[in-house]
Chains A and B, each alone.
Chain A
Amino acid sequence: MLYGIAFYLFAMVLVGSAIAVITAKNPVHSVLFLILAFFNAAGLMVLLGAEFIAMLLVIVYVGAVAVLFLFVVMMMDVSFADLRSGAMKYVPIGVVVGGVLLFELVIIYSGWKFSDAMELANPNDISLTNTEALGHILYTKYFFIFQMSGLVLLVAMIGAIVLTLRKRSGVKRQKIYEQVNRKASDVIEIHKVTPGTGV
């Protein structure tokens, strides 16, 4: 019963905040509702007994990804009321695209079945906590795929850096090594100045 109450609480807040994400007038409020939605999804994961996934969801999505969303949205100097004013004329296209997607989803899920040949990876040992069980599967059966996805992310990261890196001339930079290694004898000159002559 306590479980049921918790489930409906999380589920209701999740759906409510998901709706608020797309209806909120202020984009920053949208992002904040999105964070609330992530958080409740993590709550549902905990109820399912997948506490490791729940914590990862909070750390990765709420702690890192959504912070960047929030950053970008706060820094954008766009009037969203103007953007919204012409939105109604795109409704037909939106309906068509959404309808096609919905239709495809219905087709896929109504006929969804795992092939008999497919062998599902299950942790054999029930006594393991789900963190350990996930580790055992990821680092044995799916080791290659797991490492590959890590490399894909690395490439994406390097790509983003390369795309935004630019060398500007005339910018003063901190050169820590040189600054620390300066000696007083190299950079300070002592002049004896007689009054009235200047240096």
Chain B
Amino acid sequence: MIEEFISTYGEYLFWTLLHIFVILGVLLVSVAYLTYFERKVMAAMQRRHGPMTVGPFGLLQPLADGLKLLTKETILPTKANKPVFIIAPMLTFFLAIVAWAVIPVDENWVLANINVGILYLFAISSLGVYGIIMAGWASNSRYAFLGGLRSASQMVSYEVSMGLVIVTVLLCVGSLNLQEVVMAERSFLMNILLFPMMIVFLISILAETNRAPFDLPEGESELTGGFMVEYSAMTFALFFLGEYANMILMSAMTVILFMGGWLAPFGISGEWIDWVPGIVWFALKVSAVLFFFIWARASFPRYRYDQLMRLGWKVFLPFTLVWVLVVSGALIATNSLP
């Protein structure tokens, strides 16, 4: 029976697993070098050098950091709820990775080209809150619990406006499939109308990934480290990897929704540019959005919690809600509903 199973599905499973490992490998290397990129960019913005002693230009610094975290001792607090405490970072990391199954990095370069790709992404990113809230609760510490609660309400609030932003894009595209979202033709009017939505989306992903200036769940000055207080060594590393993988994921989502995915920017084409493979454009665009993440972190002070909630519920929600009507109205008026 096992032989039959292998002969039927062996090849399929082999290629799928290979595909998964390639994605995983590229993603982990990207995460490692994203931390390096962040430190270097922030250093440049603050007129420092950043990491420069480990390897040439400090290029081996991420590996050194990883090695250090691996060799440290994992501490389990005695009063912690152990199973939940250990599952939480694993869940965060796992969710940051599974979402990549549907991201097309080039035409037909995707593990699962499913019809509801954008909903899948939205579903997975809405699950991210569990890792944090579980960590906050299981640590059995006031600081961690407050951090977890803050993060949960923050992520739930910003998901609402993110959902509406996605709706406006889908109105113009007429499909939930990510490849079709990228390939859809957009008129000049639609590009203009979607531009404010891109700004809202960019700010919402900062809040969704708990990055500065919305990094209240970690807020060192009040919460010492938020939901991560009690975590050490590998469990901490998993949170850290998860956060950065999530940043890359959200950037990829922005690129797919608003920046034309793997296509050359601004619709340029011609002999001199067409030889560039799509994945290069995709990587460059994702890097540009990641640069925005880091830029925002180096530029803005942390928001106060009530300001954060006000921005989400009283500014973004009404604005996106009205904009859904404006976009659908414009589509009907110009008779260009897909």
List residues of A whose CB falls within 8 A of some B CB: 1-2, 26, 28-29, 32, 35, 51-52, 55-56, 58-59, 62-64, 67, 70-71, 74, 129-131, 174, 176
When chains A and B are docked, how far (Å) is the Cα of A56 from the Cα of B137?
27
When chains A and B are docked, how far (Å) is the Cα of A129 from the Cα of B137?
41
Q: Which residues of B sit under 8 angstroms from A51, Cβ to Cβ?
A: 114-116
**A63:B137 contact, CB within 8 angstroms:** no
When chains A and B are docked, how far (Å) is the Cα of A66 from the Cα of B129?
11
The residue that B152 contacts in the complex, of A28, A56, A71, with Cβ under 8 A, is A71
Distance to closest chain A CB from B150 (angstroms): 12
Distance to closest chain A CB from B299 (angstroms): 21
Q: Which residues of A sit under 8 angstroms from B5, Cβ to Cβ?
A: 1
When chains A and B are docked, how far (Å) is the Cα of A28 from the Cα of B114?
34
Q: Which residues of B sit under 8 angstroms from A131, Cβ to Cβ?
A: 115-116, 176
Distance to closest chain A CB from B139 (angstroms): 12
B64 interface contact, C-beta 8 A: no
**A63:B116 contact, CB within 8 angstroms:** no
**B8:A1 contact, CB within 8 angstroms:** yes
Q: Which residues of A sit under 8 angstroms from B9, Cβ to Cβ?
A: 1-2
Q: Which residues of A sit under 8 angstroms from B133, Cβ to Cβ?
A: 67, 70-71, 74
Q: Mark B117-134, 1 if CB is under 8 A from A, else 0.
A: 001101100110110011
**B156:A64 contact, CB within 8 angstroms:** yes
- Given contacts A51-B114, A64-B126, A64-B156, whether A59 and B119 have CB atoms under 8 Å apart is yes
**B137:A52 contact, CB within 8 angstroms:** no
Distance to closest chain A CB from B288 (angstroms): 29
7 A-B pairs with C-beta separation under 8 A: A1-B5, A1-B8, A29-B84, A32-B134, A52-B115, A70-B152, A74-B133
List residues of B whose CB falls within 8 A of some A CB: 5, 8-9, 81, 84, 114-116, 119-120, 122-123, 126-127, 129-130, 133-134, 137, 145, 149, 152, 156, 159, 176, 306-307, 310
3 A-B pairs closest in CB distance: A63-B126, A55-B119, A58-B123
Chain B CB within 10 Å, residue with most, of A29, A52, A55, A70: A55
Q: Which residues of B sit under 8 angstroms from A130, Cβ to Cβ?
A: 115
The residue that A59 contacts in the complex, of B81, B114, B122, with Cβ under 8 A, is B122
Q: Which residues of B sit under 8 angstroms from A74, Cβ to Cβ?
A: 133, 137, 145, 149
**B306:A174 contact, CB within 8 angstroms:** yes
- The interface residues of chain A, by DSSP majority, are classed as helix
Q: Which residues of B sit under 8 angstroms from A52, Cβ to Cβ?
A: 115-116, 119
Distance to closest chain A CB from B59 (angstroms): 39
When chains A and B are docked, how far (Å) is the Cα of A35 from the Cα of B127?
10
When chains A and B are docked, how far (Å) is the Cα of A167 from the Cα of B310?
19
Distance to closest chain A CB from B272 (angstroms): 39
Chain B CB within 10 Å, residue with most, of A59, A71, A131: A59
Q: Which residues of A sit under 8 angstroms from B145, Cβ to Cβ?
A: 74
**A62:B115 contact, CB within 8 angstroms:** no
**B116:A55 contact, CB within 8 angstroms:** yes
**A67:B129 contact, CB within 8 angstroms:** yes
Known: A52-B119, A59-B123, A131-B116. 8 other contacts (CB 8 A): A2-B9, A26-B81, A51-B114, A59-B122, A64-B126, A71-B149, A130-B115, A176-B310
Closest B residue by C-beta to A129: B115
When chains A and B are docked, how far (Å) is the Cα of A131 from the Cα of B119?
11
Q: Which residues of A sit under 8 angstroms from B149, Cβ to Cβ?
A: 71, 74
Distance to closest chain A CB from B311 (angstroms): 10
**A63:B123 contact, CB within 8 angstroms:** yes
- Given contacts A32-B84, A55-B116, whether A62 and B310 have CB atoms under 8 Å apart is no
When chains A and B are docked, how far (Å) is the Cα of A66 from the Cα of B156?
11
Q: Which residues of A sit under 8 angstroms from B129, Cβ to Cβ?
A: 63, 67
Q: Which residues of B sit under 8 angstroms from A35, Cβ to Cβ?
A: 130
**B84:A62 contact, CB within 8 angstroms:** no
When chains A and B are docked, how far (Å) is the Cα of A113 from the Cα of B114?
35
When chains A and B are docked, how far (Å) is the Cα of A51 from the Cα of B176?
11
Distance to closest chain B CB from A147 (angstroms): 16
When chains A and B are docked, how far (Å) is the Cα of A29 from the Cα of B84?
8
Distance to closest chain B CB from A143 (angstroms): 16
Distance to closest chain B CB from A73 (angstroms): 9
**B152:A67 contact, CB within 8 angstroms:** yes
**A55:B84 contact, CB within 8 angstroms:** no
When chains A and B are docked, how far (Å) is the Cα of A58 from the Cα of B9?
29
Distance to closest chain B CB from A83 (angstroms): 19
Q: Which residues of B sit under 8 angstroms from A56, Cβ to Cβ?
A: 119
When chains A and B are docked, how far (Å) is the Cα of A2 from the Cα of B123?
25
Distance to closest chain B CB from A116 (angstroms): 34
Q: Which residues of A sit under 8 angstroms from B126, Cβ to Cβ?
A: 58-59, 62-64
When chains A and B are docked, how far (Å) is the Cα of A31 from the Cα of B238?
24
Q: Which residues of B sit under 8 angstroms from A67, Cβ to Cβ?
A: 129-130, 133, 152, 156
